[in-house]
Amino acid sequence: MRIVLADPPAFTPPYDHALAAALGHAGADVTLVTSPFRFGDTPAENGYRRREVFYPLSSRVFGRSPLRLPLKVVEHPLGIVAMRALRADVLHVQWLVPELDVRLLRPHVPAVFTAHDLLPRRTAAKRDLWRRLLARFDRVVVHSEHGRETLAPLGVDAHVIPHPVFRSDPPRTDDGQTVLALGVIRPYKGLADAVEATRRAGARLLVAGDPAESLDAYRGDHIEWRLGYLPDAELDRALGDATVAVFPYKPELDQSGALLRALGAGVPVVAYDVGGIAEPVRRFEAGRVVPAGDVEALAAALAEVLADPAAARAGALRAREVLTWDAAARAHLELYEEIA
């Protein structure tokens, strides 16, 4: 089966790579269609082909600058044309550019869409736009039951395929009192709550990620910063230094790749109960989930796991034995076979 896997804006290169590789190893002929990643190296092709047909200029010139947006508008239709020229039995789109794709994207083969970001904040109020877009796909995939319930009012009967873990085995170098905030630093990640909760818990906070917001408001002698788009070796070093990882997110994404990277390294998690983030933590008893916005409960949960992380760490290890990319590939192939 020929699969074109499409992530035009290159929002999730690690996810794209892992799914494409697992599908390829399961026997599918996979082409990943994307754009040049603006912030670092991408994984090497492994059992699939990568074609960077979207945004060849704007991805390389402007970084995070909004100046790239007008050029993206010009480049996007050219990428759509190049994508349509590829032979495929199934098109699987990972991310949409909704205001453009509602006019331009009309799949010419059976199509699947994965709603990583269920209803993006910037366009969430445009319900009719999302109804029109999602209706063009034969199947819609979400990562959680919460995601399925969220899309149901739009007339979408989504299929739940849990987000796999990113498995790693970093040497354990934690001091028993280190809390990790991992991933790109954005306002919805709730870093202010992580700073305050770790201060109350008497713990050290390790912040590892690329800032997409100003860090001027975040202060504390208990914070260590490792900033930038970190290569895998540095991510593993941070995970090895962590006793527990914290995810005090505000509602935005349904699931967190950073959280699945933590679980994949055997690191317990404390998280706010937003989106589908709580589901793997609860399912595998891999940490604690507390009400969203409750910093006192967040601090208490961190203190509890820091005092005795063994049970939660065992839960994280259980998660990585179940939430595998091979299992996700099998579930996707079954979905593709229903529509191809």
Q: Enter the DSSP assignment of 45.
A: P
Q: What is the average pLDDT across 35-50?
A: 88
**159 and 122, same domain (yes or no):** yes
Q: Is 173 domain-assigned?
A: no
**137 and 10, same domain (yes or no):** yes
Count of structural domains, the chain = 2
**Is the separation of the CB atoms in 142 and 152 below 8 Å?**
no
Environment class of 157 (CB within 10 Å of its CB; exposed 0-12, middle 13-18, buried 19+): exposed
- Residues whose CB is less than 8 angstroms from the CB of residue 128 and which lie 6 or more positions away in sequence, other chains included: none
CATH code of 63's domain: 3.40.50.2000
Of the CA atoms within 13 Å of residue 289, those in its CB half-sphere come to: 15
**117 and 259, same domain (yes or no):** no
E runs forming strands in the chain: 2-7, 29-34, 49-52, 90-93, 111-114, 139-142, 159-160, 178-182, 204-209, 223-227, 244-247, 269-272, 287-290
Q: Is 58 domain-assigned?
A: yes
Q: Is 146 domain-assigned?
A: yes
Q: Read off the pLDDT of residues 192-207 as tens digits, 9 standing for 90 and up.
A: 999 999 999 999 999 9
| pLDDT over 90 (residue 263) | yes
Return the sign of the alpha-carbon dihedral for residues 195, 207, 238, 147: positive
**92 and 206, same domain (yes or no):** no
Instruction: Tell me the DSSP string of 66-94.
Output: TTHHHHHHHHHHHHHHHHHTS--SEEEES
Higher pLDDT, 278 or 69: 278
**287 and 335, same domain (yes or no):** no
The dihedrals phi and psi of 337, each to the nearest 5 degrees, come to -65, -25
**Is the separation of the CB atoms in 40 and 26 below 8 Å?**
no
Domain span holding position 112 = 2-163+325-339
**146 and 236, same domain (yes or no):** no
Amino acid at 139: R
| pLDDT over 70 (residue 305) | yes
% of the chain residues with pLDDT over 70: 96
Q: Read off the pLDDT of residues 231-258 as tens digits, 9 standing for 90 and up.
A: 999 999 999 999 999 999 998 778 999 9
% of the chain residues with pLDDT over 90: 84
SS3 state of residue 291: coil
SS3 state of residue 204: strand
Q: Is 200 domain-assigned?
A: yes
Q: Is 172 domain-assigned?
A: no
**Residue 242: left if φ>0, alpha if ψ -120 to 50, beta else—which one?**
beta
Q: Read off the pLDDT of residues 93-143 as tens digits, 9 standing for 90 and up.
A: 999 999 999 999 999 999 999 999 876 666 667 788 999 999 999 999 999
Token pair, residue 101, equals 């794709």
Q: Enter the DSSP assignment of 279.
A: H
**227 and 188, same domain (yes or no):** yes
**16 and 155, same domain (yes or no):** yes
Helix (H) or strand (E) holding 229: none
pLDDT of residue 123: 64
**131 and 230, same domain (yes or no):** no
Q: Is 170 domain-assigned?
A: no
pLDDT of residue 195: 98
pLDDT of residue 124: 63
Collect contacts of 271-275 with beta carbons under 8 A, ≥24 apart. Answer: 271/246, 271/247, 272/190, 272/193, 272/247, 272/248, 272/298, 274/249, 274/250, 275/118, 275/144, 275/146, 275/147, 275/249, 275/251
Give the model's confidence band at 144: pLDDT under 50 very low, under 70 low, under 90 confident, else very high. very high
| pLDDT over 70 (residue 6) | yes
Q: Is 171 domain-assigned?
A: no
Closest CA to 179 of 197, 202, 203: 203
pLDDT of residue 239: 98
pLDDT of residue 121: 62
pLDDT of residue 43: 87
**153 and 182, same domain (yes or no):** no
Token pair, residue 280, equals 């793997």
**187 and 46, same domain (yes or no):** no
Q: Is 153 domain-assigned?
A: yes
Distances (CA, A) of 258 to 163, 180, 290, 302: 11, 11, 18, 18
For the chain, give the mean pLDDT: 93
CA 272 to CA 294: how far, in whole Å? 8
| pLDDT over 70 (residue 65) | no
Q: Read off the pLDDT of residues 78-95 as tens digits, 9 standing for 90 and up.
A: 999 999 999 999 999 999
**116 and 192, same domain (yes or no):** no
